[in-house]
Amino acid sequence: KNQVEQSPQSLIILEGKNCTLQCNYTVSPFSNLRWYKQDTGRGPVSLTIMTFSENTKSNGRYTATLDADTKQSSLHITASQLSDSASYICVVSDRGSTLGRLYFGRGTQLTVWP
């Protein structure tokens, strides 16, 4: 079972609408959580990082939240644009080994329609 689960698997919204993507994880001990955006045919690009002590962080129209107690994170996109169409990947890092490792979710495929 993957230690990072994302939902929904895919999502279609109209331009201008808001949406929220979810990431639940079981990784322990927790170090940090990153949200990446991956455009079709491109490599992932980091949007934001959440550490244990952070609850909310914004990057333009993207707002990430983290609840370390329930091991849940969300990525909220406000006033969606066509360019937001992409896969959004949640990546959690642990501190279990000397150098840690990364756990990837399968991503949420977001499609924004005009």
Pick the closer one to other proteins by CB: 18 or 51: 51
| Tokens linked to 20 | 């929220």
Binding part of the chain for other proteins, among 14-22, 37-45, 59-67, 77-85 by CB under 8 A, reads 37-45
The amino acid occupying position 31 is S
By beta-carbon proximity to other proteins, the closer residue of 44 and 112 is: 44
Torsion, CA 38, CA 40, CA 60, CA 89, rounded to 10: -30
7 binds other proteins (CB under 8 A): no
Going by their DSSP bridges, the two strands 86-94 and 30-38 should be labelled as: antiparallel
What gap in Å lies between CA 21 and CA 18, rounded to an integer? 10
Q: Does 112 bind other proteins (CB under 8 A)?
A: no
Site track for other proteins across 43-82, x = CB under 8 A: xxxx--x-x-------------------------------
The footprint of other proteins (CB under 8 A) covers: 2, 4, 9, 31-32, 34, 36, 41-46, 49, 51, 89, 91, 93-95, 99-102, 104-107
